[in-house]
Amino acid sequence: MTDTTAASHTAPGTTARGLVADDLEVGYGPTTVLDGLNLTLPAGAFTAIVGPNGCGKSTLVRTLARTLRPRRGAVLLDGRPLTAWRPKQLAQQLAFLPQDPVVPDGVTVRSLVARGRHPYHSPLRQWAPGDDEAVAHAMDVTGVTALADDPLAELSGGQRQRAWIAMTLAQDTPHVLLDEPTSFLDLAHQIDVLHVCRDMRDQGRTVVAVLHDLNQAARYADHLVVMHEGRVHAEGTPDAVLGGDAGARLVGDVFDLACEIATDPQSGTPMVVPLARA
Amino acid sequence: MTRGSRALVVLLGATALLVVVAVVSLFAGSKDTGLTDVLPVLAGGGDEYVQAVVDSRVARTALGALVGAALAASGVIVQGITRNPLGEPGLLGVTVGASAAVVTATAFFGFTGGGATVWVALPGAAVAVLAVVTLGRRSGSESVVPLVLAGAVLSAVLGAYIQAMVLARPDVFDSYRHWVVGSLAGADLQTLQAVAPAAIAGAVLALVLASSLDSLALGDELATSLGVRVPLVRGAGIAAATLLAAAATAAAGPVAFVGLAVPHVVRALVGTDHRWQLPVSFVLGAALLVAADVAGRVVARPGELMVGVVTAFVGAPFLLAAVRRGRVTT
């Protein structure tokens, strides 16, 4: 269960570090959602995946997190297909927070965060050394330590989301995937979560989040991936993707929305301002 | 006090309770045997008749503890896997499977109950659970609803079959009527030896799965990303719950209520962590069942009440207490 075994299994010719989607085709039943998608996620950066409803953002992030199996192609982590990893070994590399996780009734914040340690347990060792420290640290950096013994169900939406993120942090992985972590939160809590994402990146993690708000994505992410109809329409830094007339054209093409691109007065990043309708 | 140290205190307290009720169980019964009668026997001598009585009480206490522990832990697993607070071992078809097998053997093969019941009830329970799992499996489905519905369907069908048989031939079902309530009256060491392997296998499997069951409670997607092989863990969990409940049911008949109530009481005491829930449920389930059996022997002297009748009366106050504290959770 060390990195050396991972490295020794690396297929020849595919030495890329980090997460790579290679010619993915993913669908449900007769519908194909992703069709021939290729993507390399920059290591150590905060990547935001954006796009209109139904473009396949969630499908992509769930496939990257191996909760969906592609029909064709593969997701590679450090050059090795996810399916070739042992599940717990992979879970020590890659954490995923789904959009709508099940809240066990009566679960406390501490008990929830502790479940992030499962990848380090084995059938004969259900408590691992370092569990307590990792749980305490994860609760500390997400600011939920004071809530540790409160039932999750009694917390506000923002506190609850922090607790879930603390659980993925307790998993202590270099890669963290989040499916719409800011949805259903009020604006202050959305900004809060985006700061937590940035902090995770500052600690050296690769963070990938599906986001809805283009301006927030441009302001907080290092790298934007714009999805449209099951493919990557554009990717790059926020300035390169959304800046100037090209950015306005892209929003028109992808979201079918007429807009101009202004500059965020605080961060200097591009800001999408929809045109007034007559 | 942290959750872990609190749970440890609960576990030690429950163990002390179990020791107390087990000792009482050796002394109390429909035949009144005092300290002065029993102690010499335990020391390896004493009156021969009292010796026989105490021997049977040892077997009975041990079997009662096994049945209670197995049913309680089975309930914990079933409620966890189905995410259903009303879950109990019967949900998987264990009870109706064992009962239908006993009824069939009685009606068609001249089976008269007794020690051989184990070898009829165990396979009956196993076959019923296999049928439920097969019917409830839908490829690619993440929901446990099909499993629960399949269990309900099988219970209804087999329940009707049992009713029809018992109504058609009431004369041959005297031993069945006693078995189906749940009783430890015929308990002997042979029965204990017959069911212990299944119960121990189920218990070990359950303890090994504890951390995985905690992850599974967060939904299939999150469990997968935590490194859980979801279908494997769910299947193994059902196997563990079946082994435990089938062993208990084969030994003492379908004892009601323990598998439903004890998990709720345990959660109120130690929270949602399966790594604590399972050990505590073993001990608390054993204590409840032995206590119920003692009560059944004492209140109806010189006869006795069957343990399946008493468990509900003894267990209900605890379940209500857990409800009223607002701590009943899944």
- Residue B317: band (very low, low, confident or very high) from pLDDT cuts 50, 70, 90: confident
pLDDT at B224: 94
Query: Given a cut of 90, is residue B165 above it in pLDDT?
Result: no
Closest partner CB to B225 (pick from A65, A114, A121): A65
pLDDT at A6: 39
Q: By CA distance, what is B328's nearest residue in A?
A: A106
pLDDT in tens, A81-133: 999 999 999 999 999 999 988 888 889 999 999 999 999 998 888 888 889 99
Q: Does B115 touch chain A (CB under 8 A)?
A: no
Q: Does A189 touch chain B (CB under 8 A)?
A: no
pLDDT at B142: 59
pLDDT at A8: 38
Q: Which residues of B touch A114 (CB under 8 A)?
A: 273
Q: Produce one character per residue of B71-93: b if its CB has 16 or more CB atoms within 10 Å, e if not.
A: bbbbbbbbbbbbbbeebbbbbbb
Q: What pairing do the DSSP bridges indicate for beta strands A72-77 and A80-81? A: antiparallel
Query: Given a cut of 80, is residue B175 above it in pLDDT?
Result: no
Q: Does A135 touch chain B (CB under 8 A)?
A: no
- Report the DSSP beta bridge partners of residue A262: A271
What does the DSSP assignment read for A4-70? HHHHHTPPTT----SEEEEEEEEEETTEEEEEEEEEEPPTTSEEEEE-STTSSHHHHHHHHTTSS--
Query: What rounded mean pLDDT belongs to chain A?
Result: 90
Q: What is the ipTM of this complex?
A: 0.88
pLDDT in tens, A206-235: 999 999 999 999 999 999 999 999 999 999
Of the two residues A7 and B35, the one the predictor is more confident about is B35
Which two three-digit tokens encode residue A37?
Answer: 């998608």
Query: Among B37-51, B251-265, B268-282, which stretch is predicted with the lowest mean pLDDT?
Result: B37-51
- Residue B330: band (very low, low, confident or very high) from pLDDT cuts 50, 70, 90: very low
Amino acid at B179: W
3-state SS, one letter per residue, for chain B: CCHHHHHHHHHHHHHHHHHHHHHHHHHCCCCCCCHHHHHHHHCCCCCHHHHHHHHHHHHHHHHHHHHHHHHHHHHHHHHHHHCCCCCCHHHHCHHHHHHHHHHHHHHHHCCCCHHHHHHHHHHHHHHHHHHHHHHHCCCCCCCCHHHHHHHHHHHHHHHHHHHHHHHHCHHHHHHHHHHHHCCCCCCCHHHHHHHHHHHHHHHHHHHHHHHHHHHHCCCHHHHHHCCCCHHHHHHHHHHHHHHHHHHHHHHHCCCCCHHHHHHHHHHHHHCCCHHHHHHHHHHHHHHHHHHHHHHHHHHCCCCCCCHHHHHHHHHHHHHHHHHHCCCCCC
Q: B27, B294 in Cβ contact below 8 A?
A: no
C-alpha to C-alpha distance for A163 and A147, rounded to whole angstroms? 9
Query: Given a cut of 70, is residue B61 above it in pLDDT?
Result: yes
pLDDT at B301: 74
Which two three-digit tokens encode residue B163?
Answer: 């009713």
Query: Given a cut of 80, is residue B41 above it in pLDDT?
Result: no
- The minimum CA-CA distance between A218 and chain B, rounded to whole Å, is 28
Domain parsing of chain B, residue ranges? 3-324
Query: Given a cut of 90, is residue A51 above it in pLDDT?
Result: yes
What is the mean predicted confidence (pLDDT) over B30-39? Answer: 66
- The minimum CA-CA distance between B271 and chain A, rounded to whole Å, is 7
pLDDT at A30: 87
Q: Does A73 touch chain B (CB under 8 A)?
A: no
Q: A33, A229 in Cβ contact below 8 A?
A: no
- Chain A contacts in chain B segment 239-268 (CB below 8 A): 267
- Identify the CA nearest to B154 among candidates B107, B92, B99: B92
The single residue listed with the structure tokens 């991936």 is A225
Q: Do B221 and A96 touch (CB under 8 A)?
A: yes
pLDDT at B75: 95
Query: Given a cut of 90, is residue A237 above it in pLDDT?
Result: yes
Q: Does A83 touch chain B (CB under 8 A)?
A: no
pLDDT at A15: 52
> What is the rounded radius of gyration, in angstroms, for the C-alpha atoms of chain B?
20
- The minimum CA-CA distance between B31 and chain A, rounded to whole Å, is 46
Its sign, for the CA torsion A103, A107, A108, A112, is negative
Which two three-digit tokens encode residue A7?
Answer: 């490295």
Is domain B3-324 annotated with CATH 3.40.50.1820?
no
DSSP A177: E
- The minimum CA-CA distance between A25 and chain B, rounded to whole Å, is 18
Q: Do B221 and A115 touch (CB under 8 A)?
A: no
Q: B18, B293 in Cβ contact below 8 A?
A: no
Q: Do A105 and B327 touch (CB under 8 A)?
A: no
